[in-house]
Structure 1
Amino acid sequence: MLAYFVAMATYAGFFMILAQGLNLQWGMTGMVNFGVAGFYAIGAYSGALLSTRVGITPELAIALAGAIAGVAGLGVSLLTVRLREDYFAIVTLGFGEIVRLFALNEDWLTEGPKGLRIPVRPFDFGLGNTAYSLVYLGVVALVVLVIYAICERIRTGPYGRTLRAIREDDVVAGVLGKYVLRFRVQIFVLGSVFMGIAGALFAHYIQNISPDTFMPMIAIFIWMSVIVGGYGNNKGLLLGAGIVMLILEGSRFLGDFTSIVTSQQLSSIRIILIGVILMAVLRFKPRGLIPEPKFVSEFEKAS
Structure 2
Amino acid sequence: MEAYLVAIAIVALIYVLLALGLTLQYGFTGLINFGHVGFFAIGAYTSAILAMNGLPLVLSFAAGTIVAGLAAWPIGLIALRLRDDYFAIVTLGFSETVRLVITSEKWLTNGVQGIPAIPRMFAGISVGSLASFAVLAVLLVVTIVAILGMGRIVKSPFGRIIEAIRDNEDAVKALGKDPARFKVQVLILGSGLAGLAGAFYAHYITYIVPDQFIPLVTFYVWMAIIIGGVGRVSGAVVGTVLLMVLLEGSRFIRDVMPFISDVEMASVRLGVIGLLLILFTIYRPQGLMGDFTRR
Give the Cα separation in 2 of the matches to 1:89 and 1:136.
34
Residues 1:123 and 1:60: Cα distance change in structure 2 (over 3 Å): farther
Equivalent-residue separation in structure 2 for 1:119 and 1:210 (angstroms): 12
Deviation for aligned residue 1:73: 0.8
Q: Which residue pairs with 1:115 in the alignment?
A: 114
Alpha-carbon spacing, 1:292–1:82, altered in 2? closer, same or farther (3 Å): farther
Q: Distance in 1 between matches of 2:204 and 2:18?
A: 16
Note the C-alpha offset of 1:194: 0.2
Q: CA RMSD in A?
A: 1.3
Superposed, 1:121-270 pairs within 5 Å as: 121-270=120-269
Please tell me whether residue 7 in structure 1 is matched to residue 16 in structure 2: no
Q: Which runs of 4+ in 1 moved over 6 A?
A: none
Aligned amino acid, residue 263 of structure 2: Q
C-alpha separation in 2, matches of 1:235 and 1:276: 23
TM-score by length of 1: 0.94
- Counterpart of 2:39 in structure 1 is 39
CA deviations 1:270-297 (Å, max 9, x no partner) are 1111111111111111111101699xxx
3-state SS of paired residue (1:162) = helix
Aligned to 2:26: 26
Percent pairwise identity: 41
Q: How many Å separate the matches in 2 of 1:268 and 1:110?
A: 31
Contact in 2 for aligned 1:36/1:96 (Cα 8 Å): yes
SS at 2:119 equivalent = coil
Structure 1: gaps spanning 5 or more residues: 295-303
Residue type at the aligned position of 1:41? A
* Closer, same or farther: CA 103–86 of 1 in aligned 2, 3 Å: same
Residue type at the aligned position of 1:249: E
Per-residue CA shift, 1:205-226, capped at 9, x if unaligned?
0000000000100011000111
TM-score, structure 2 as length reference: 0.96
**Matching residue of 2:56:** 57
| Deviation (angstroms), 1:24 | 0.5
CA contact (8 A) 2:121 2:203 kept: yes
Gaps of 5+ in 2: none
Partner of 1:299: none
Query: 226-235 or 243-252: which moved more?
Result: 243-252
For residues 122-162 of structure 1, give each alpha carbon's deviation from its aligned partner in whole angstroms, at most 9, with x where no partner exists.
23442411100011011111111111011111112222111
Per-residue deviation, 1:120: 1.5
